[in-house]
């Protein structure tokens, strides 16, 4: 049934017989040169010229005033939540349809995840669901939004830009401002994605990015926090470097800090990758256009960016008609060495989060049964 789709994917990647990965990294720039330069410098850990350069490049690319280099996307989100003021047992609203790192980071920060529904077209947090939840479940006390059932403060809201498709972040930001809730964007998957010309991750107090091996650009493991707030940036950088007070030889620490600073070795690769980010994004848009054209004549919906947004098409995505078709598609493609994968199991179904408060999750449950990612690598 899915032989034509499999053949199209193989033809598109010029791979007649071999395994077609979901998203392989592509190192087409100065990665080796910068790595050797870093080794020769002997500054291979968290202090080095490439760490500083990476931060400057991320600030320039995203348009944020500050960028802080972090070890990975999960630790970036964890630290961002700490800096945003999340305290133990306070609630953080997020979406159930996300990679587990989103919920884990909230838990690492001491927060309690609360799940609200997503929109079908973005696969990310629904501002309508967020607003409905807050109206039904919260009250304001002295400017603080409290869950009237649990008596906990709603400390933050973490929408995630699923597969690089921007959520309706402007509406979410307005809701968070009205309820005095810190907005922390999980932009791990959306480097190079925009809403009305503004980069994802820059609509709230803080945004976080990932440079894991399967991301649009990678340095093996790496992350970043971006913010326009001077004090927030200073605190995030201080805490990421074990809260050590700068001194030429003394070791004095003034807070519980985290060893979350990106090593210079990783930063060297990241800088080389960021240099070719425009080329990679263009290549991925061309692939998305090919898929969109092909699936327009198939009974399978290909997910495209919404008007007013620009997606990075990190992972190209199709929506099947039902769970049975989804499973048949996954079995057929993977059986022919064309890697595809289903969207994540909903967070509220995982044993560690099944007791968390949820709003109605009709859209998330609908998508969980139908969404599949298809090969999305850079095509040399």
Domains and CATH numbers, the chain: 3-23+277-347+357-374 (3.90.1150.10), 31-276 (3.40.640.10)
What pLDDT digit, counting tens, does each position of 17-52 carry? 999 999 999 999 999 999 999 999 999 998 999 999
**CA gap 291, 303 in Å, rounded:** 10
Query: Higher confidence at residue 134 or residue 247?
Result: 134
Give the predicted TM-score (pTM) of the model. 0.96
For residue 24, the model assigns a pLDDT of: 97
- The rounded distance, in Å, linking the Cα atoms of 133 and 150 is 14
pLDDT of residue 1: 85
Q: Rounded CA gap, 302 and 312, in Å?
A: 15
How many whole angstroms separate alpha carbon 131 and alpha carbon 140? 14
Residue with tokens 């159930």: 96
pLDDT tens-place string over residues 331-369? 999 999 999 999 999 999 999 999 999 999 999 999 999
Query: What value does the mean pLDDT take over residues 197-223?
Result: 97
Please give the average per-residue pLDDT across 257-266, as a whole number: 97
Please give the angle made by the CA atoms of 160, 171 and 76, to the nearest 5 degrees: 30
- Give the pLDDT band of residue 248 (cuts 50, 70, 90): confident
- Rounded distance between C-alpha atoms, residue 63 and residue 57, angstroms: 10
Q: What is the rounded radius of gyration, in angstroms, for the C-alpha atoms of the chain?
A: 21
């Amino acid at each position: 049934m899915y032989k034509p789709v499999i053949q199209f994917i193989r033809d598109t990647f010029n791979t007649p017989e071999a395994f077609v990965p979901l998203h392989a990294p592509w190192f087409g720039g100065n990665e080796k040169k910068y790595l050797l330069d870093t080794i020769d410098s002997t500054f291979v850990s968290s202090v080095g010229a490439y760490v500083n350069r990476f931060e400057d490049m991320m600030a320039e690319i995203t348009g944020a005033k500050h960028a802080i280099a972090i070890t990975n996307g999960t630790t970036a989100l964890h630290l961002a939540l700490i800096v945003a003021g999340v305290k133990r047992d306070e609630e953080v609203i997020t979406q159930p349809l996300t990679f587990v790192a989103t919920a884990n980071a909230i838990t690492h920060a001491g927060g309690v995840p609360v799940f609200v529904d997503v929109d079908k077209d973005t696969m990310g947090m629904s501002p309508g669901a967020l607003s409905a939840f807050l109206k039904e479940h919260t009250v304001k006390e002295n400017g603080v939004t409290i869950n009237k059932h649990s008596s906990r403060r709603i400390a933050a809201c973490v929408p995630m830009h699923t597969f690089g498709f921007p959520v309706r972040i402007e509406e979410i930001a307005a809701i968070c401002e009205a309820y005095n809730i810190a907005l922390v964007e999980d932009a791990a998957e959306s480097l190079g994605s925009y809403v009305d010309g503004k980069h994802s991750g820059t609509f709230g107090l803080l945004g976080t990015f990932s440079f894991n091996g399967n991301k649009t650009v990678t340095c093996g493991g790496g992350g970043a926090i971006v913010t326009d707030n001077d004090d927030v940036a200073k605190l995030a950088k201080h805490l990421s470097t074990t809260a050590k007070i700068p001194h030429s030889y003394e070791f004095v620490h003034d807070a519980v800090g985290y060893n979350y600073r990106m090593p210079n070795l990783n930063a060297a690769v990241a800088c080389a990758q960021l240099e070719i980010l425009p080329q990679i994004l263009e290549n991925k848009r061309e692939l998305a256009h090919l898929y969109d054209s092909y699936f327009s004549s198939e009974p399978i919906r290909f997910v495209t960016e919404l008007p007013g947004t620009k997606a990075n098409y990190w992972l190209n995505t199709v929506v099947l008609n039902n769970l049975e078709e989804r499973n048949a598609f996954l079995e057929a493609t993977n059986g022919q060495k064309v890697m595809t994968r289903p969207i994540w199991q909903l967070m509220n179904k995982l044993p560690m989060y099944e007791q968390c408060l949820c709003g109605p999750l009709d859209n998330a449950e609908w998508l969980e049964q139908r969404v599949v990612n298809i090969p999305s690598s850079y095509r040399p």
